[in-house]
Structure 1
Amino acid sequence: MKAIGAHRYGGPEVLEVVELPDPEPGEGEVLVRVRAAAVNPTDTYVRNGDRERAQRKQSPPPYVPGMDVAGVLEAIGPGVDTALSVGDRVMAVVVPNGHHGAYSEMLALPVGSVAAAPAGTSHVEASTLPMNGLTARLALDLLALEPGQVLGVTGSAGALGGYVIELAKADGLTVIADASEKDEALVRKLGADIVVRRGDDVADGFLAEVPDGVHGLVDGSVQDEALFPAIRDGGGFAAVRGFRGEAPRGIQNHQVWITAYAEEQAKLDRLREQAEAGQLTLRVAETIPAAQAAEAHRRLEAGGTRGRFVLEF
């Protein structure tokens, strides 16, 4: 099969079409024929060497990025108990591991990582939901806020931030979010109750609106300790990029790692239901042929994209 991988670390130009053996589903796995793979910022770490030490322990190159796919269920492996059938349209979250990544024509995946795609969506649209949707769900579950409490969200116009806002509103939370002037209308449409201007002083903006501080905060903009002043004593902070600094005033610093929910099929299926009900917005920036993955990475790293670039196979 064909995949998109990197034989060496570097910029987007190192991505190329590679040939890999066709995977076979093992015990507890299913085989997915990939039609679309979303491009996420975390994919660039597989490519640029940020995860070099971990990857070299797993396998030799090429290293294949990608954590989100949608496609068709091709086969069901031994020992799998599932309501899914061969030929079903599915979406899945992928944990990259050496040659194993979403930018592939076929993937053998744990059945717990795969769910039916939302009805009425294309493969491209469905591919934008699994990883960011589950990450947003995990962040909110770790914060464990009660209906009516106040959630702060940074990076609100991004894919993760957008899902956090929409899921938080479905949970009955009040949301205060950041946005640039050009993104304010989008963030309000996603459901934010209060919008403040994004920037290095966003914590001051939150406090101006919520003087006692928010009950919990999801840090999609990765500002880390700069946001602690916006959180009330004993509140919660959800770190999506592994910030491990000490939090003051009894604030709980929760680490949000998608691997914790990578096989939580029921939670992925609940995201499908919410997408079908119109509670989640699947945002596609542009569809790009898989062979042009380098261009997708270049444009992603240039910044300013709203929604996801999606590679088509």
Structure 2
Amino acid sequence: MRALVARRLDGPDAIELVETAVPEPGPGQVRIAVAAAAVNPVDVAVSRGDLQRLGLTAAREQYGLGWDVAGTVDAVGPGVDLSVGTPVIGLSDLLGRPLKTHADQVVLDATAVAPAPRRLDPVAASTIPLNALTADQALDALALAAGATLLVTGAAGAVGGYAVQLARHRGLDVVALAAPADEGLVRELGARHVVPRGADLPTAVRELVPGGVDGVVDAALVGVAAQEAVRNGGAFAHLVATPGPAPLRGIRVHTVLISADGERLHRIAGLAEAGVVRTRVAGVHDLEDAAAAYRKVAAGGLRGRLVLVPGRR
């Protein structure tokens, strides 16, 4: 099979599409014939060696690329209930693996996959796992009750967009930070208030919510300025491994790092089937054209995810 890997760790232009042996599933694992796999900023970070430099993974000769996947189960290991032929979505959350989801086939733990949303094509479905799971796990960490107020930074982005939708589904009152051009989009996703990017964030939020919001999902990594919009004793979700804001004024600061969760992913897939959350695809590239997709993701500014498809050999 073919697989996309990073060896030189010199960014998108250095990634390689290699021929390698088809992996076999072990106990509790499934092999998925990949139909589509989204490209995320973390993939670009891996290709540049950022995770190794941050000490998040050991040095290796080869890093597999890709976290999200949508496809069909084509082999199962012992102890797996999923049947061959089942359409699934899944997440490869193990850092430093030599092969991941930007490939023709991938092996994942069965606990990291869920049946794919019906009536959603694989390209759209592949944009769900990493970003929607991150948003949902961040909301769980905040533990806000229905009716509470939530600030979502980067609300037009992939994680932020899912955070707005999932927060609204939980009954939260959402304030979104987004570019003026994205105001209509984030309101469609469920935000009641929109603060334009570039505004004095704490002041603007506190004018809308006197005393400050109850919590923040900081998808844009704004940091302290977003924390200053939170009321005393509120909660803050920090979404990267680097240190987050200090827990000033009794604010609970949670570092939320993604972990695969098939049961949670199954629930989110149900919300996608029901139209509660919607997916956004920025474009599709063949696996052989992956470097172009990586360059676009590195440049930023996308609304939705670029998706790789294996195509025909």
Superposition TM-score tier, normalisation by shorter sequence: over 0.9
1:93-144 residue CA offsets vs partner (Å, 9 max, x unmatched):
1124331322111111110111111101111011000111110110000000
Q: CA deviation at 1:186?
A: 0.4
Alpha-carbon distance, 1:201 to partner: 2.4
Aligned to 1:116: 115
State the SS of the aligned residue for 1:138. Answer: helix
TM-score with structure 2 length normalisation?
A: 0.95
Contact 1:60/1:98 (<8 A) preserved: no
Deviations 1:188-247 (A, max 9, x none): 000101111013622222112112111010001101122121000010000011333422
Q: Establish whether residue 7 from structure 1 lines up as the match of residue 7 from structure 2.
A: yes
Q: What is residue 162 of structure 2 aligned with on the other side? A: 163
> How far off is 1:267 after superposition?
0.6
SS in 2 for 1:216: strand
SS at match of 2:301: coil
4+ long deviations beyond 6 Å: none
For 2:61, the equivalent position in structure 1 comes to: 60
Secondary structure of the residue aligned to 2:233 is strand
Correspondence for 2:227? 228
Distance 1:55 1:23, change over 3 A: farther
CA distance in 2, matches of 1:212, 1:150: 11
- Whether the 8 Å contact between 2:177 and 2:194 is mirrored in structure 1 is yes
Q: TM-score, with normalisation over the residues of structure 1?
A: 0.95
Quick one: structure 1 residues 125 and 222, their matched pair in 2 at CA, closer, same or farther if it must change by over 3 Å? same
Q: Deviations over 1:34-61 (max 9, x none)?
A: 1111011111111001022558736422
Who is 2:293 aligned against?
296
Summarize the alignment of residues 10-29 of structure 1 with structure 2, pairs less than 5 Å apart: 10-29=10-29
Structure 2 distance, partners of 1:57, 1:197, is 40
State how far apart, in whole Å, the 1-side matches of 2:208 and 2:56 are: 44
CA contact (8 A) 2:152 2:217 kept: yes
Q: How does 1:1-313 map to 2 (within 5 A)?
A: 1-52=1-52, 57=58, 59-61=60-62, 63-80=63-80, 82=81, 84-95=82-93, 96-199=95-198, 201-242=200-241, 243-259=243-259, 262=260, 264-313=261-310
SS of match in other structure, 2:250 = coil
Distance 1:164 1:35 in 2: 26
1:37/1:69 contact within 8 Å kept: yes
What amino acid is aligned across from residue 302 of structure 2 in structure 1? T
In the alignment, the residues of structure 2 paired with residue 11 and residue 45 of structure 1 have an alpha-carbon distance, to the nearest angstrom, of 8
CA 1:236–1:219 in 2, change beyond 3 Å: closer, same or farther?
Answer: same
Measure the CA separation in 2 of the matches of 1:88 and 1:300: 30
Structure 2 letter corresponding to 1:107: V
| Identical amino acids, percent of aligned pairs | 44
Cα distance in structure 1, aligned partners of 2:67 and 2:244: 24
- Give CA deviations for 1:140-181 in whole Å, capped at 9, x if unaligned: 000000000001100000010010011011101100001111
Secondary structure of the residue aligned to 2:240 is coil
Q: Does the C-alpha gap of structure 1 residues 173 and 70 become closer, same or farther in structure 2, counting only changes over 3 Å? A: same
The number of residue pairs the alignment matches comes to 307
Q: Is residue 66–residue 101 contact of structure 2 (8 Å, CA) maintained in 1?
A: yes
Aligned 8 A contact 1:39 1:309 in 2: yes
Counterpart CA distance in 2 for 1:239 and 1:302 is 23
Tell me the CA shift for residue 20 of structure 1: 2.1
C-alpha deviation, 1:307, in angstroms: 0.4
Q: Which runs of 5+ in 2 are unaligned?
A: none
Secondary structure of the residue aligned to 1:218 is: strand
